[in-house]
């Protein structure tokens, strides 16, 4: 009789552990997806960087303000 109870408790603990572990793996997958961010390419030097760290101007992305200015200067020269 006592063996039956021990087996039932062990089974319950095993199911609890299994469900907890499955939930942790699912949460980890969700976190990995959230960490993936759009990458953009600097229009001046071509370096790839996360969109949130880039400077956007007229549908173009730049790695820093200096490259944005250089790109504008080049475009201005081409227009003249």
User: Rounded CA gap, 26 and 36, in Å?
Assistant: 16
Shortest separation between residue 45's beta carbon and Zn ion, angstroms: 3
Which residues ranging from 20 to 59 are in contact with Zn ion (CB under 5 A)? Answer: 42, 44-45
User: Rounded CA gap, 21 and 42, in Å?
Assistant: 42
Identity of the residue, 59 or 80, whose beta carbon is nearer to Zn ion in the bound complex: 59
User: Rounded CA gap, 45 and 41, in Å?
Assistant: 8
Q: Under rule CB under 5 A, how many of the chain's residues touch Zn ion?
A: 5
The footprint of Zn ion (CB under 5 A) covers 42, 44-45, 63, 67
């Amino acid at each position: 009789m006592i063996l039956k109870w021990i087996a039932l408790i062990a089974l319950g603990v095993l199911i609890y552990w299994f469900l907890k572990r499955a939930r942790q793996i699912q949460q980890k997958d969700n976190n990995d997806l959230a960490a993936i961010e759009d990458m953009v390419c600097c229009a001046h030097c071509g370096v790839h960087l996360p969109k949130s760290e880039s400077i956007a101007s007229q549908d173009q992305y730049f790695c820093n303000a200096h490259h944005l200015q250089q790109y504008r200067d080049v475009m201005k020269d081409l227009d003249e």
